[in-house]
Amino acid sequence: LHENKDFPTLLRAIARLPSQVHLALAGDGPERAALEALSRELGISSRVAFLGWRQDVGALLAACTMLVVPSRLEPLGNVVLEGFSAARPVVAAAADGPSELIEHGRTGLLVPIGDDSAFADAIADLLAKPERAAAIGAAGREAYEAEYAEAPVLNSWRVFLEAAARIRR
């Protein structure tokens, strides 16, 4: 829970959504107390669970409807790949990493960095259209299998190392 992750924007987005929408935040860090205070100030503390540091990412993703990544700075976006792997629709700020990984509207939704209204709209859209959410989650999983799972990654490394060995000779 660091300022680069921009969880205040996500909390403000949750405050714009109906009361049946809940948020689970996994992680810990220097911003936790401020985020807890903001959730109380926004009147959503009963809808936000601060889970602390967790090792069971797969179980958390299996239990969620979607993954939301509000990070202002996200160089790669491992969390996006975890969402893809779990076939969960991903809503992310258009930071460098998520913008490289997500094909907007197909494998996820990208929203402007720091725009709580756009986050709320994207979340509401996926909640209102479960078939669209499922299609986006499935497309993310397909992208994961094609490009980021063990077999394609190992193959890419093999090709790279073979080319490097040829150059060295």
* Position 86, amino acid: A
CA distance 143 to 43: 38
123-159 residue pLDDT tens: 999 999 999 999 999 999 999 999 998 899 898 899 8
CA distance 8 to 13: 9
22-35 residue pLDDT tens: 999 999 999 999 99
What's the DSSP call for residue 65? S
The neighbouring-strand residues paired with 69 are 92
CA distance 102 to 69: 12
CA distance 102 to 94: 9
